Amino acid sequence: MSNLSFPRAWDGVEWQKFALRLVSLKHGFGNVQPVPDQVDGDAGLEFFTTDGCLYQCYAPKEVVDVGKAASGMKKKATSDIQKLRKYEKKILGMVGPLKFDRWILLCPFFEDKDVLRHIQKKISDETIDQLGFCNTPFVGLGKSIEDFSDEYSQLRAKSKGLPLKLKLATDKDLGAAPQGNELFDRVMEKLRRGYPDATEDALTKKAKHWILSSITKQNAAEDLQKDFPDQWETWFTTISMEEQRLALMGDQSGTATEFLNNELKGLQGTLKEALPDLPVTFRSALAQGQLGTWLLDCPLDFLEQ
């Protein structure tokens, strides 16, 4: 049993792409053939392997209620197992001389053994073992990311395939009245120095922006640490070095806006070099949010104007 925590919620297309990566690592990239579905559907198959496996993918929309998720898996299995018989000729044309002895429903999680009983029953009801591309005996299986834990770890280490979605902070994360909060007051004090001609309302909006960007960055960093620990280590080391640079040599030049823009541009460039595989929007959120964190936690400040 793996100690890893596996993501449960997936967009269907994202799951199909990620599942293909898992299966390709398991069987070998040269031994897996995806089945295009743009024309006439996929005939009940997502991809097949040269060593006897037919794969279909399914990402349940329900990820909390195991019973509802299992119901969706059963419906998916019923529909696609029936397609194996319906599209027998089409499948024979795709697989050539290959023979198969198992059909696998691959899901992010698989927790109800009744789904497996259902799959086996449908395989039997449709007499799938009598089809021209199948061996006897022919079995149906249910698999999840946990069954591909080694392959998952490899992809996780390389930051390949796992979806990274920003959890944007909202006003709810600020609380009812940020004024009077020590961190809020610290940012306001700095902003008053940097923007002496700005109104209190304008400064308050800026303060909220930087605090929210810092919270968004924290959300992103936590997801990075959980799903891509190697990339998080790189992120942490890079930010630590940048923080030292800022503390030693980060004196303000130009206006507050020019100073912030220069720091943001420099940090974005540094992160692009250090973490080239991360999505641009994710890197931008990390960079902008780090400036917000530095405004909160002291290393970034403005000179009196």
pLDDT score, position 160: 61
pLDDT score, position 68: 95
Edge to edge, what strands does the sheet with 32-34 contain? 32-34, 47-49, 53-57, 100-106, 134-143
All CATH 3.40.1350 domain ranges in the chain, comma separated: 12-157
pLDDT score, position 79: 95
pLDDT score, position 159: 61
pLDDT score, position 1: 43
Strand partners of residue 33: 48
Count CB atoms within 10 A of the CB of residue 119: 24
pLDDT score, position 162: 62
**Does 12-157 carry CATH code 3.40.1350?**
yes
pLDDT score, position 251: 63
Interatomic CA distance for residues 2 and 123, integer angstroms: 30
pLDDT score, position 293: 92
In eight-state DSSP terms, residue 154 is H
pLDDT score, position 100: 97
How far the first Cα of the chain sits from its last, in Å, is 61
Note down pLDDT in tens along the chain; length 305 residues.
445 578 888 989 889 999 999 999 999 999 999 998 765 656 879 999 999 999 999 999 999 999 999 999 999 999 999 999 999 999 999 999 999 999 999 999 999 999 999 999 999 999 999 999 999 999 999 999 999 999 988 887 766 656 677 788 888 887 655 566 778 888 898 899 889 999 999 999 999 999 999 999 999 998 888 777 778 888 999 999 998 888 777 666 778 888 899 989 999 999 999 988 788 888 999 999 999 999 888 778 777 66
Interatomic CA distance for residues 297 and 243, integer angstroms: 11
3-state secondary structure of 298: coil
pLDDT score, position 163: 66
Short-list 295, 274, 298, CA closest to 214: 295
Count CB atoms within 10 A of the CB of residue 179: 10
List the beta strands (DSSP E) in the chain.
32-34, 47-49, 53-57, 100-106, 134-143
Q: What is the pTM of this model?
A: 0.64
